Amino acid sequence: AQSVTQPDIHITVSEGASLELRCNYSYGATPYLFWYVQSPGQGLQLLLKYFSGDTLVQGIKGFEAEFKRSQSSFNLRKPSVHWSDAAEYFCAVGAGGRRALTFGSGTRLQVQP
């Protein structure tokens, strides 16, 4: 069965600094990969997804993610963080004949002024 690990529970960055959130997955083949964002008290919003093709994927709100097969990783990046990016971020995997996605435990991002 597939699994997803987000090693960082909580990250704090300064506004304007760059950001990288880590995601590692466990699956024998190439899965479908997603990043979602959850603002406080809200549902999850899809930031970006990877199915196949170019390993660098662009998403909404200036985010991008890179799929690295050799490292089983799908890290999320943003060159310059805004205060409104403070939220919880979830990496998810779709794979293995399972209709639902498997989610990581999330990374909470705090942005300092």
Interface residues with other proteins (CB under 8 A)?
A: 9, 31-32, 34, 36, 41-46, 49, 90, 93-101, 103-106
Distances 3 to 27, 33, 35, 69 between C-alpha atoms, Å? 7, 12, 14, 15
Q: From the CB of residue 43, how many other CB atoms can be counted at a distance below 10 Å?
A: 7
Burial 62-101 (b: 16+ CB within 10 A, else e): ebbbbbeeeeebbbbebeebeeebbbbbbbbbbbeeeeeb
Q: Pick between residue 22 and residue 49 the one whose CB is nearest to other proteins.
A: 49
Q: How far is the CB of 70 from other proteins (least distance, A)?
A: 21
Q: Pick between residue 5 and residue 75 the one whose CB is nearest to other proteins.
A: 5
Q: How far is the CB of 9 from other proteins (least distance, A)?
A: 7
Q: How far is the CB of 113 from other proteins (least distance, A)?
A: 26
Q: How far is the CB of 16 from other proteins (least distance, A)?
A: 29
- For residue 96 the two structure tokens come to 């293995």
Q: Pick between residue 48 and residue 111 the one whose CB is nearest to other proteins.
A: 48
Q: Pick between residue 42 and residue 71 the one whose CB is nearest to other proteins.
A: 42
Is the CB of residue 71 less than 8 Å from the CB of residue 6?
A: no
